[in-house]
């Protein structure tokens, strides 16, 4: 064989080896991606079912209130979007320290810490809730102070005490769900929430349509459904289905409470800035002409967005669990890969729902109101609603990554600047100075959300994930909380 032939054979051999290597890499990437997709959906799908169903209870109640009357719909919208968003931002926000703590502990196989972290969260949230109950008792004077119309303030004050059950659901129920999600036991919550949604729909139909109980019927159906969720979740935890992580109430929950308090405060501030934005929007719109129509239409748009947002909250929960678990295990590459896959799936879903919002906006609005004026107002916002749904398909995943990694303090600053220094001032300028009215408010807020998304995407992209693993390991190494054997001997009560 000539030298030229030998070189040609050698080149062919190298080419074949490169092709084989590329094929193996492609197959490996395909297998890794499919494996990650399955992990994300095992966490995300039940979480989506739970979020959509539990929020659906409020949506169904709002729909019935809209068919009872415009003033009832506007009053319900004020309480939900001002009182509940204020309280939810604090309780849900502070409770979101749990996905960080429990997720990383589960990844590190420190299962005994999950139950202790849950009890610490309850202690913190119960303490805070003592200062939040008056928000629902003094709703009318609070809304008057904020400059709301007298009629809306009066009727909102009549409705607000009904929301106290939702307050305690957010206090104890949501934190328990986060504890279950961190250990991949969220499916039971999904089924419980779905059953509660069906109960709410049936009771609303019975009490409002058949028995003509009006507002008390709609709010009573909501109360029964919400109570069903958190009683069922407690029964699951205390009934022995979480034997590795729940050993009963323990005095160990009082150990190292301050670090959990600090993380809870950071988490609360982070999500308060995010969740309170809806309440600020409703306030801005309520000062415009024809407040009843504006508030009703704007609230319907917010609820459409929020209901779709519950799907992305499921992806957010999956992101926080996967990132926290992998950091707890010490695998930085797996954490990065999970983020890429999650963002790809969530963005695809966001594109689909944005298209649906453009096509079916007017049809959806009639489900919430009998007023053609309100329905037409909702329909006119369809393009802006579709755009914010698209942004929301990315932002919650990035927030979930931040929660899983424990970046609550950093993200709190990002949310403050993007929403309250950029978004809302621009909304006021466009809505009131340029006189674009409600559309101007929407455009300003979308600008803030876009800035928020871009900044968080940059932070995530530039993060040194190996350093994040080091920080997680350091925190567990210096923890002085007792092991599961020590906790067992300190049980004061056992489920």
Give per-residue pLDDT as tens, 171-193. 788 889 889 988 888 889 899 99
| DSSP code, position 171 | I
Residue 148 vs residues 77, 162, 378: alpha-carbon distances, Å: 13, 20, 22
Radius of gyration of the chain (CA): 25
For 310-331, what is each residue's pLDDT tens digit?
888 889 888 988 998 888 888 8
CB–CB of 215/452 below 8 Å?
no
CB–CB of 331/111 below 8 Å?
no
pLDDT score recorded for residue 11: 54
How far is the C-alpha of 280 from the C-alpha of 107, rounded, in Å? Answer: 38
Instruction: Give me the residues of the chain with pLDDT under 70, please.
Output: 1-27, 278-279, 282, 285-295, 362, 367-370, 475-495
Residue whose C-alpha is closest to residue 415's, from 276, 253, 270, 211: 270
pLDDT score recorded for residue 493: 39
pLDDT score recorded for residue 415: 87
Half-sphere exposure of 284 (CA within 13 A, CB side): 28
- Token representation of residue 218: 């709609």
CB–CB of 311/48 below 8 Å?
yes
| DSSP code, position 491 | E
Q: Is the dihedral of CA 285, 286, 287, 291 positive or negative?
A: positive
- Token representation of residue 471: 């920080």
First-to-last CA distance in the chain?
A: 81
For 254-313, what is each residue's pLDDT tens digit?
887 888 888 888 888 877 777 777 667 767 766 666 556 666 777 778 778 877 888 888
pLDDT score recorded for residue 495: 34
- Token representation of residue 166: 């939702």
Residue whose C-alpha is closest to residue 83's, from 127, 139, 145, 147: 139
Residues in CB range of 405: below 8 A, 6 or more apart? 100, 323, 324, 327, 463, 468
- Token representation of residue 142: 């609070």
- Token representation of residue 424: 């809302």
SS3 (DSSP) at 361: helix
Residues in CB range of 367: below 8 A, 6 or more apart? 63
Residue 85 vs residues 69, 135, 206, 215, 278: alpha-carbon distances, Å: 23, 11, 29, 21, 7
How far is the C-alpha of 103 from the C-alpha of 110, rounded, in Å? Answer: 10
- Token representation of residue 357: 């919002």
Helices (H), 108-169: 112-129, 134-137, 139-145, 150-159, 164-168
For 210-235, what is each residue's pLDDT tens digit?
999 989 999 999 999 999 998 999 99
State the pairing for strand pair 249-250/491-493: antiparallel
Domain ranges for the chain, please list them. Answer: 42-479
How far is the C-alpha of 480 from the C-alpha of 429, rounded, in Å? Answer: 52
How far is the C-alpha of 325 from the C-alpha of 113, rounded, in Å? Answer: 14
| DSSP code, position 433 | I
How far is the C-alpha of 321 from the C-alpha of 35, rounded, in Å? Answer: 15
């Amino acid at each position: 064989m000539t030298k030229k032939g030998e070189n040609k054979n050698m080149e062919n051999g190298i080419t074949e080896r490169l092709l084989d290597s590329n094929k193996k890499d492609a197959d490996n990437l395909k297998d890794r991606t499919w494996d990650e997709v399955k992990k994300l959906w095992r966490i995300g799908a039940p979480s989506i079912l739970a979020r959509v169903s539990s929020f659906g209870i409020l949506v169904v109640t709002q729909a019935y209130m809209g068919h009872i009357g415009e003033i009832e719909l506007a009053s319900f919208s004020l309480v939900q979007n001002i009182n509940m968003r204020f309280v939810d931002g604090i309780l849900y926000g502070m409770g979101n320290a749990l996905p960080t703590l429990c997720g990383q502990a589960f990844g590190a196989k420190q299962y005994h810490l999950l139950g202790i972290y849950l009890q610490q969260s309850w202690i913190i949230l119960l303490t805070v809730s003592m200062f939040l109950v008056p928000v629902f008792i003094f709703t009318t004077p609070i809304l008057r102070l904020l400059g709301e119309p007298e009629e809306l303030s009066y009727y909102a004050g009549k409705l607000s005490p009904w929301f106290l059950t939702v307050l305690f659901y957010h206090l104890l129920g949501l934190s328990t769900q986060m504890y279950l999600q961190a250990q991949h036991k969220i499916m039971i919550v999904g089924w419980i929430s779905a059953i509660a949604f069906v109960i709410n729909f049936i009771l609303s139909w019975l009490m409002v349509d058949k028995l003509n109980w009006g507002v008390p019927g709609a709010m009573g159906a909501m109360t029964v459904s919400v109570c069903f969720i958190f009683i069922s979740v407690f029964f699951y935890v205390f009934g022995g289905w979480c034997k590795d992580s729940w050993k009963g109430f323990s005095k160990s929950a009082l150990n190292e409470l301050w670090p959990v308090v600090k993380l809870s405060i950071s988490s609360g501030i982070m999500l308060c800035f995010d969740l309170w934005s809806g309440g600020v929007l409703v306030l801005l719109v309520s000062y415009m002409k024809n407040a009843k129509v504006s508030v009703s239409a704007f609230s319907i748009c917010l609820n459409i967005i929020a209901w779709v947002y519950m799907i992305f909250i499921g992806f957010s929960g999956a992101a926080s669990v996967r990132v926290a678990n992998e950091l707890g295990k010490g695998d930085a590459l797996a954490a990065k890969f999970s983020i890429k896959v999650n963002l790809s799936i969530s963005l695809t879903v966001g594109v689909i729902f944005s298209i649906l919002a453009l096509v079916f906006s007017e049809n959806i609005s009639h489900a919430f109101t009998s007023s053609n004026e309100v329905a037409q107002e909702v329909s006119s916002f369809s393009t802006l609603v579709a755009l914010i749904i698209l942004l929301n398909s990315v932002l919650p995943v990035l927030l979930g990554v931040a929660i899983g990694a424990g970046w609550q303090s950093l993200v709190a600053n990002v949310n403050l600047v993007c929403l309250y220094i950029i978004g809302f001032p621009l909304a006021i300028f466009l809505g009131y100075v340029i006189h674009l009215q409600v559309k101007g408010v929407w455009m300003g807020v979308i600008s803030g959300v876009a800035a928020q998304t871009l900044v968080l995407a940059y932070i995530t992209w530039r993060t040194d994930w190996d350093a994040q693993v080091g920080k997680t390991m350091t925190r567990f190494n210096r923890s002085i909380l007792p092991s599961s054997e020590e906790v067992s001997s300190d049980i004061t009560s056992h489920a």
